Amino acid sequence: MAAQKPSVPKGTRDFTPAEMSRRNFIFDTIRDVFRKYGFKQIETPAMENLSTLLGKYGEEGDKLLFRILNSGNFLKGVDQQNLENRDAPGIISRISKRGLRYDLTVPFARYVVQHRNEISFPFRRFQIQPVWRADNPQKGRYREFYQCDADMIGSESLVNEFELIRIIDEVFALLNLKVTIKINNRKILAGIAEVIGEPERIIDITVAIDKLEKIGEEKVREELKSKGLSGTALKRLDPVFGMMGNNVEKLEFLQTFLADSETGLAGIGEIHTLLGYLSTDPVQSAIELDITLARGLDYYTGAIIEVKSDEVSIGSICGGGRYDDLTGIFGMPGVSGVGISFGADRIYDVLQQLDKFPSTAEEQTKLLFVNFGENEVKYILPMLGRLRNEGVIAELYPESAKMKKQMTYADQSAIPYVALVGENEIQSDKITVKEMSTGNQEQHDYKELLQKLKS
């Protein structure tokens, strides 16, 4: 067969050892914090039945699902007429019944319903797995990427929101990143739509307000007008554009502004309770009430959370919120949950840009034994085993290649020490150790070598 120029599919990536160490640093940090808070790990299959996935992510989402071709004779159930007419929708439903996971939330909802009898609620689960989306790849957006999700399901208590915010704070503290945790509540947004007399237009209103920072007040007004918002409603919205100050001041304003909306006041109450919990055990990150926050509005019903880096200008690096009925679609209504999702790829970019990956994130071979030949190999092997058992990552160059080749390998692999054990060393029961950064050579016995490597 002719040689092929190898590549990976568009939007997917290989991860090299150096990248893996840094990625593992992020995943391990997040996992450890999830565990510390009593979250239990689950995993779900990469493939789900399309009946589980379709219709859960909107029309646009359905298009972004990667579909698996049925195996065997995939044309079996397809109508001849459909084929002749090139009827794509008619054909696709017959030739593919599984798709790749698009996120971790819908598979989790499916899991909860399927395993309801084994689960003791409230259930705290975390899940760290890749997801796939047939999106157009661009900088920072991939077709395969990891999500790191924690959800609590089966409890309406705001203690859950508190715990998730503590988790966020702790993860970013451990990653040595300064962040602002923005919070909002869907009920406040519903209240605003209510008091300006446009309760049905909550989506249009919040989608527009969400752009306030980006496009400015005037453009937002124009957008709302073009969506058919009445002049009266727009005028009533004015004070919201002018809202300023810290959380307490914002809440005071909203208390008055939303005085006639029961829903709005309930939202304010929830924010008060949450801030109350946070005052008993404060977090390091800034907590900022931001009523322009509207992510996943069709989805969230209470708290909305979004995390921004204070140091790098990049989209949200973690987000989440409360959903009141995630499992209803699978036949289990009325189960409230709240969850967050860390965006590992963006966190990676932030750490990289700030040069904040700890050097320990890369686990390195500490010592390379040069290979002088069979006799030396047999002398070295037991010593190599002892060093490894002491926790020293060590290697023996597998071939008795030219010295220069072996040293180049040590150099390129960033191995800090090279051990030279030839006839003389075997005679004297010593090891010559070269420090690669300085070129210094010293003779040691095994004990001294071990001390040197462990220090």
Residues numbered 265-294 forming contacts with a second copy, rule: CB under 8 A:
276-277, 280-281
Number of residues that bind a second copy (CB under 8 A): 112
Question: Considering the rule CB under 8 A, would residue 439 count as an interface residue with a second copy?
Answer: no
- Which of 101, 308 has the CB closer to a second copy? 101
Q: Where are the alpha helices (DSSP H) in 183-299?
A: 186-195, 202-209, 212-226, 231-242, 247-257, 262-280
Radius of gyration of the chain (CA): 29
Q: Minimal distance in Å, beta carbon 242 to a second copy?
A: 34
Question: Considering the rule CB under 8 A, would residue 373 count as an interface residue with a second copy?
Answer: no
Give the single-character DSSP code of 359. G
Q: Minimal distance in Å, beta carbon 252 to a second copy?
A: 22
Given candidates 25, 102, 132, 257, which one binds a second copy under the rule CB under 8 A? 132
Q: Minimal distance in Å, beta carbon 264 to a second copy?
A: 22
DSSP-based three-state secondary structure for 20: helix
d(CA 277, CA 97): 46
Question: Considering the rule CB under 8 A, would residue 299 count as an interface residue with a second copy?
Answer: no
Residues 178-237 that bind a second copy (CB under 8 A): none
Q: Minimal distance in Å, beta carbon 455 to a second copy?
A: 19
Which segment (49-57, 214-222, 301-309, 312-320) binds a second copy by CB under 8 A? 49-57
Question: Considering the rule CB under 8 A, would residue 381 count as an interface residue with a second copy?
Answer: yes
Which segment (189-197, 387-395, 417-425, 437-445) binds a second copy by CB under 8 A? 387-395
What are the DSSP E strand ranges found in 300-358? 303-309, 318-323, 337-343
Q: Minimal distance in Å, beta carbon 449 to a second copy?
A: 17
Given candidates 165, 181, 291, 396, which one binds a second copy under the rule CB under 8 A? 396
Residues 141-180 that bind a second copy (CB under 8 A): 143-144, 152, 155-157, 159-160, 162, 166
- Which of 112, 318 has the CB closer to a second copy? 112
Which segment (44-52, 214-222, 315-323, 348-356) binds a second copy by CB under 8 A? 44-52
d(CA 420, CA 190): 73
Q: Minimal distance in Å, beta carbon 372 to a second copy?
A: 13
The CB density around residue 323, as the number of other CB atoms within 10 Å, is: 23
From 358, 338, 29, 362, select the one nearest 172 (Cα to Cα).
Answer: 29
Question: Considering the rule CB under 8 A, would residue 95 count as an interface residue with a second copy?
Answer: yes
Question: Is residue 405 within a helix (H) or strand (E), and if so which, with residue range?
Answer: helix 403-412
d(CA 431, CA 371): 13
Cα four-point dihedral sign 342, 345, 349, 355 = positive
Question: Considering the rule CB under 8 A, would residue 334 count as an interface residue with a second copy?
Answer: no
Question: Considering the rule CB under 8 A, would residue 124 count as an interface residue with a second copy?
Answer: yes
Give the single-character DSSP code of 199. G
Phi-psi region of 401 (alpha: psi -120 to 50; beta: other; left: phi over 0): beta
Question: Considering the rule CB under 8 A, would residue 446 count as an interface residue with a second copy?
Answer: no
Cα four-point dihedral sign 288, 290, 296, 301 = positive
Q: Side-chain half-sphere of 171: how many Cα atoms within 13 Å?
A: 35
